[in-house]
Structure 1
């Protein structure tokens, strides 16, 4: 049989392990709980973009334009996120009219980065869309953008998990003279187990 001292040691050890396990679970579900990133899209040179009636008539089907864009990515988590090169697309109604190349980078824990990129907009395809003239006449061009960032999340330099971030943005361009841009983005973080 076990001595009384060994029994006390086992009980105290089990209580200690249960306390540590409970503390880890509580920390993970409160402080270390994975949160969705905050991503915003800013069109930088839209102020210099001229889209007048005379310009529209000169366009061909293969006309393209590159709009300089800044994508701000805020990581509210206690772990860093490193992602590889990716690309997104821009849709007008249900037609793809643009591509967004995204260069791979590292977003440190609880910080924000600004990434310079460009939207390669296929103006010929956009202008020839059935709904374009009615939206242009109303003064607002509504676009949607989607992209997925695949990478690894690293927490406390110990835990590394494959992660995906899904982002969908609604971009509203006020045309032709107001030059106001509104974008609302929603992001969702998902772990690949």
Structure 2
């Protein structure tokens, strides 16, 4: 016959085993949900439109100078496909000419709610001082068509049990026809990084 002390110990051991099993089952359930239903996904940046808002182009033959200013109104949509909010850090949109940054606009830090979408209107202004000594720029300007690239990078985090850092990139190649002051042949590419 078992002593009362042994019976209490066995009961305590059974309760402890049940409690440990319940905690492990709960942790496993949370892990499965975090890796499936609540899996961290990258935000999707879509470029809706790029339009020339301001374009000044003039050739000063007497002084052998080219005056050029351009501003591009860019409308983008950032979609958060996650079931939790996406907090993004200070980001930026760049205007590039042949791989060199010639314009920039900051995108202030913010948050996009779960499965929510945010529209952002950005104005990219060309910094002409970065093109003064670029002979490729003058060659393209003479043809009447300039080739630019817009580049947008947003980095942030999604918290699903742990913080997951996500980064999304969007770049668009485009042509600006100086005579019509219009954007043509816009081709965009989207990249992500977890």
Which structure's residues are more often strand, by fraction? 2
Q: Pick one of 63, 85, 95 that aligns with 1:90.
A: 95
- Provide the TM-score with structure 2 as the length reference: 0.70
Counterparts in 2 of 1:179 and 1:64: CA distance versus 1, 3 Å = closer
Q: Pick one of 34, 40, 64 that aligns with 2:46.
A: 40
RMSD: 3.5
In the alignment, structure 2 segments of 5+ residues that lack a partner are 1-5
Q: Which residue of 2 aligns with 1:7?
A: 13
Q: Which stretch has the larger CA shift, 171-180 or 91-100?
A: 171-180
In the alignment, structure 1 segments of 5+ residues that lack a partner are none
C-alpha distance in 2, partners of 1:45/1:75? 25
Q: Which residue of 1 aligns with 2:169?
A: 167
Counterparts in 2 of 1:136 and 1:108: CA distance versus 1, 3 Å = farther
Q: Which residue of 2 aligns with 1:114?
A: 119
SS at match of 1:9: helix
The offset of 1:78, in angstroms, is 1.9
Q: Which residue of 1 aligns with 2:24?
A: 18
Greater Rg, structure 1 or structure 2?
2
Contact 1:92 1:143 (8 Å CA) reproduced: yes
Deviation digits for residues 18-50 of structure 1, max 9, x if unmatched? 21111111111112221111112344433x666
The offset of 1:15, in angstroms, is 1.8
- Provide the TM-score with structure 1 as the length reference: 0.71
SS at match of 2:26: helix
Q: Is residue 79 from structure 1 mapped to residue 81 from structure 2 by the alignment?
A: no
